[in-house]
A and B are shown apart, each in its own frame.
Chain A
């Protein structure tokens, strides 16, 4: 039982440390496999979407 508890704590800590990051809507495991050009394209796309959204918010105000 003690061993199980230790194992659980160890596993929980391990899982807790490995929280994934998100780059402009793309999770890090996928992001790592993209080329520099594809990453740039995603960043540009996200930037344009943000500008669009900001424009909508401003016109709503």
Chain B
């Protein structure tokens, strides 16, 4: 009976992981933005490489021989069929949330006259400012490193009559603090990236205003 109890616990854990897969909420930028560009902007999103991290096995060592084997087989089959539940990544879903949040921040603060999200730079009208956001690498470290997220993102801005501007941002999530979840880390790293990009756009605006 003890063994079957263990298997039940493994099963329950598996079913619970299926429910507990929240995704990152939209980001909020609370600092004031004091600059404005009297042009429309097109925000282009490009995806690079993603490195995910596998979660360790949840099968208990106290399950006994049969209980342990049964639990391991069930978990192995589940890992094969629902791989996303056993790995952590900063993938397309998170990146799309980041892109819509960046667009919303630029719109709410009236940085440009209008901002449009695109996936092909050729869609952008020639007179508009084209902001290209390329997620070069999105890496999640191992469980031992508390699933630290590292993003390398390139932002290139091109505007009619203005010199091109390019910056690469390397941001890492803060793993410190008790009980910091993967979700907290995703929000943390995205917030840092958002702040760097807004500063980057401001820098571009200052440079192009001078020139």
Contacts and interface: CB of A to CB of B under 8 A. Distances in A.
A44 B93 CA distance: 13
A5 to B, nearest CB: 9
Nearest to B87: A27
B23 A33 contact: yes
A41 B119 contact: yes
A49 B93 CA distance: 16
Interface size of B as a range: 20 to 34
Nearest to A24: B92
Interface size of A as a range: 20 to 34
B93 A35 contact: no
B96 interface: yes
Chief secondary structure at chain B's binding surface: helix
B91 A38 contact: no
B22 A38 contact: no
Given A25-B92, A35-B100, A38-B93, A18 B82 contact: yes
Contacts of A29: 18, 21, 84-85
Contacts of B99: 41
Contact of A41 (B66, B85, B100): B100
Interface in B63-104: 66, 70, 73-74, 77-78, 81-85, 91-93, 96-97, 99-100
Interface of A: 3-4, 7-8, 11-12, 14-16, 18-20, 24-31, 33-35, 37-39, 41-42, 44-45, 47-49
Interface of B: 3-4, 7-8, 11, 14, 18, 21-23, 45-47, 66, 70, 73-74, 77-78, 81-85, 91-93, 96-97, 99-100, 117, 119-120
14 contacts: A3-B4, A7-B7, A15-B14, A19-B81, A25-B91, A25-B92, A27-B83, A29-B18, A29-B84, A30-B93, A34-B97, A35-B100, A41-B119, A45-B45
